Amino acid sequence: MTSPRMIKENSISQERYIKWILMMFAFSSILFLFLIFIFIFIEGLPLFSKVGFTKIIFGLRWAPTKGFFGIFPMIISSFLVTIGALIIGAQLGLSCAIYLSEYAGKKMKIFLKPGLELLASIPSVVYGFLGLIYIVPLIRRYLGGSGFSLLTTSMVLGIMILPTIISISYDSLQSVPKTYRDGSLAMGATKWQTIHMVVVPSASSGILASFILGMGRAIGETMAVIMVAGNALKIPRSPLEPLRTLTSNIALELAYASGDHRKGLFATGVVLLVIIMILNYVANFIFKNKVIK
């Protein structure tokens, strides 16, 4: 007959076994990420030492077959598109999160929240296709230009980052203690005054983190950008001019690139990876400060 002591020892050994299995899965994910980093850096860094860091980062001309690897116009274009998407998406996303958190009833939340989160599951090529069919002709007809522009790309990406901003902002607003709201209302403030003077400032770190993660989502987008940006190798001087981002440059040319041209595309990937890592680090830093406070 099995004694209680043996049963306890078997349970402990099983717990340790499960713990090690789960730890192996966790570290395998980190290993895959590490291997991706190593591969991109090994392929991209040699060109920096061969051509020069400043000539790649601050160069204005991209012609790899002629020895020009300047990606500065694409870096600027990527940031312009991201800022434009944030201007559009941040307002819509935060407004939706405030409505869901503070005004919507239970039935409305059951209907709206899953629908808004469903936007994240739509493939990016669908967003690009809809932008190509509807937004590009509207821009061309009423504002001028070809329609393939910074404005069009910002509008498409602004819609694509909505699920990220709404979800995180909503959770941040929900985490504000109810006593904050009750105290403000007890002092005679209206509901809107309570929201924009008490609730939103209290959740500001989480909201800011949602904006930064939305920026990371926008700056890393490829397919939708290729379809509506116009892919011009220059810095756009107006919202109606075409542009090319870092991601679209890689996707458009990697299929036929070879030699230094291929290394130049991997160097572009290194720059993009560093930018996204910085954005994620900043977002995590803000999240940690929020938790500590």
Rounded to whole angstroms, the Cα distance separating 129 from 10 reads: 58
Q: Distance from CA of residue 194 to its chain's centroid?
A: 30
Rounded to whole angstroms, the Cα distance separating 223 from 131 reads: 12
**Token representation of residue 284:** 């995590």
Q: Which residue has the tokens 């290729």?
A: 226
Contact 207, 90 (CB under 8 A): no
Domain residue spans in the chain? 4-51, 62-292
| Per-residue model confidence as pLDDT tens digits over 27-77 | 887 888 788 888 888 888 888 888 888 888 998 889 888 888 899 999 999
Higher pLDDT, 23 or 1: 23
Rounded to whole angstroms, the Cα distance separating 68 from 278 reads: 27
CA torsion through residues 206, 212, 214, 220, sign = negative
CA torsion through residues 171, 190, 93, 75, sign = negative
Q: Flag whether the pTM goes above 0.85.
A: no
| Per-residue model confidence as pLDDT tens digits over 112-137 | 888 887 888 888 899 999 999 999 99
| Per-residue model confidence as pLDDT tens digits over 256-277 | 888 889 999 999 989 988 888 8
Q: What is the CATH class of 62-292?
A: mainly alpha
4 HSE (CA, 13 A, CB side)? 0
